[in-house]
């Protein structure tokens, strides 16, 4: 997964305006207490970040 796909998925589920806000404010334990943006900045793979976002948003398995 590339960064662009991660952001497209987040935009789809959260809305294009809110996705970036959520990504800088919502802290996830699965990412070591980081937000989406902090995890990406720290070098986490977009696929790993998406898995944490997917779980946090309680999305269906088909969206994983």
Average pLDDT over residues 50-59: 94
Domain that holds residue 22: 3-63
pLDDT of residue 60: 84
Render pLDDT for 11-54 as a digit per residue (tens, 0 to 9). 999 999 999 999 999 999 999 999 999 999 999 999 999 999 99
Indicate the number of domains in the chain: 1
Q: Binning pLDDT at 50, 70 and 90, where does residue 61 land?
A: confident
User: Helices (DSSP H) in the chain: which residue ranges?
Assistant: 3-14, 16-25, 36-41, 46-56
pLDDT of residue 11: 96
Nearest-angstrom CA–CA distance, 26 and 33:
9
């Amino acid at each position: 997964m590339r960064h662009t796909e991660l952001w497209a998925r987040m935009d789809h589920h959260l809305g294009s305006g809110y996705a970036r806000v959520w990504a800088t404010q919502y802290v996830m334990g699965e990412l070591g207490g980081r937000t989406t943006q902090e995890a990406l900045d720290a070098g986490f793979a977009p696929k790993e970040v998406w898995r944490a976002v997917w779980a946090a948003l309680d999305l269906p398995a088909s969206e994983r």
